[in-house]
Amino acid sequence: MSAKPVGQFPALRPRRLRQSPALRRLVCETRLSVEQLVLPLFVRSGKKIRKPIGAMPGVFQLSLDEMLHEARAAHQLGVPAVLLFGIPDKKDERASGAYAKNGIVQQAVRLLKKELPELLIITDVCLCEYMSHGHCGIVHTDKRGGKILNDPSLKLLARTAASHAEAGADIVAPSDMMDGRVRAIRSELDAIGFSDTPIMSYAAKFASAFYGPFREAAESTPKFGDRRSYQMDAANTNEALREVALDIQEGADIVMVKPALAYLDIIHRVKTEFGYPTAAYAVSAEYSMIKAAAAKGWIDERAVTMESLLAMRRAGADIIITYAAADVARWLAE
């Protein structure tokens, strides 16, 4: 479809269609609606705990009871889905908390499915929050330092996804960026009778400084090195498309680009080239920057948030994961 005008001024006057709110709404090309939003939640053990995350005002580590409260409030506002991250009591070198039958995410899933059966439960599948070293895979250390092992990590990721599905998760979302994880997870799910559980893969996940505040939220800062040997280089577009193609071939049902706002070109390319359901993750620093500037009175929080999320929709995102989901739902309803 061409956007090129076929006439010229004065016959063509684009301002004609901008004269009133009703006219502008009538010709509006992109809409943001509550059905597209996903709210991430950080869950931990304990009772009545709402531990604030310093760099993310309004976001908390929540005990199960408080998480239920938060999920219910968002769901009542029309938010259809939550994305769960777990903060375990103990970490080890095998990330055993990630796939424990009674792990924190597994408990959260069972509780949410029982209390809010209509709410879609998406679980983040990764090992970093559960590993003592904070990396997304198994680490082998020798004289040259630590190396993140790909293939042995796949078994643990598949096991984690399986345990989430068994607990009742509606969608599993691997975020580790190990090669072959979607295939490993798909075959494990199929083998244990969950061939209907969709996979939303963090297909193009970039090594990004925009994740800073999240690491405090999920307590998942790596103890050594960084994640650049598995997450993508911010400079690369073609590689992002290859990553997405691979995940689709391996069985991903929904593909995600993360972060969102600084990567709108990637979202656009992914959506146009593959036409798959595409998710954009508006990450922690995207949220924090708006909150911080708004707190200083420098920007209008609501307007800037809505414009940012609309830009993700315009780029091609079908699904938007945002810490502001409940606020946005409220604003959309006004």
Positions that interact with Zn ion (CB under 5 A): 126, 128, 136
Which element (helix H / strand E) includes 68? helix 64-76
Provide the total of helices (H) and of strands (E) in the chain, helices listed first: 12, 12
Q: Which is nearer to Zn ion, 111 or 126 (CB)?
A: 126
Radius of gyration of the chain from its Cα atoms, rounded to whole angstroms: 21
Per the CB < 8 A criterion, the answer to whether 174 and 226 are in contact is no
Nearest to 152 by CA among 181, 132, 126: 181
CB of 134 to Zn ion, least distance (A): 8
Active site residues: 205, 258
Which tokens belong to 72?
């219910």
Give the total residue count for the chain: 334
CB of 224 to Zn ion, least distance (A): 15
Q: Which is nearer to Zn ion, 157 or 254 (CB)?
A: 157
Q: Which is nearer to Zn ion, 69 or 215 (CB)?
A: 215
Which residues, 6 or more positions from 198, have their beta carbon under 8 angstroms from its beta carbon?
170, 171, 172, 253, 254
What phi and psi, each to the nearest 5 degrees, are found at residue 34?
A: -60, -30
Strands 60-63 and 50-52: what pairing?
antiparallel
Q: Which is nearer to Zn ion, 64 or 126 (CB)?
A: 126
Q: Which is nearer to Zn ion, 128 or 260 (CB)?
A: 128
Report the alpha-carbon distance of residue 162 to residue 194 in Å, rounded: 8
CB of 216 to Zn ion, least distance (A): 15
CB of 124 to Zn ion, least distance (A): 8
Name the closest residue to Zn ion (Cβ).
Answer: 128
CB of 28 to Zn ion, least distance (A): 38
Cβ of 132: how many Cβ atoms within 10 Å?
A: 13
